[in-house]
Amino acid sequence: MDDSHIVSTFELKEDLDFFRGHYPGHPIMPGVLMCEAVFQTAGIFMSAQQKPELKDEKGETPILTKITNARFRRMALPGESLTIEVRPVESQGPFHMMKGKVKNKEGGLIMNVDFTITLK
């Protein structure tokens, strides 16, 4: 992580619970969970970017306020290693527009999404 982006990873172990029901006999990672991984990565980034002199004891909580342009390019399969990257695009007052993407280990794009977070 630096001031311009954050990168996280997620190992899709074959025994993860969501693989059992999504889809039986042909397991894939649900798209909503890929989005959630992006949003949680953004939350870590936003929390780390808070200026210490502006924080109270608890700091502010990153809240997802808008999702646009979610595009799923291919499936995320058991055994894959995902790389999640989030970059801020623009801030307007308390709203922070961001872009996120998920790639596989080989660098193939799995999904991308634009979204907005605010700090409350």
Among this protein's residues, is 96 annotated catalytic? no
Amino acid at 73: R
Which residues, in sequence order, are CB contacts of 117 under 8 Å at separation 6+?
39, 42, 43, 46, 62, 63, 64, 65, 95, 96, 98
Catalytic choice (5, 22, 26, 96): 22
Residue 81 and residue 59: Cα distance in Å, rounded? 32
Residue 10: CB atoms within 10 A of its CB come to: 19
DSSP letter, residue 15 = T
Q: Which residues are catalytic?
A: 22
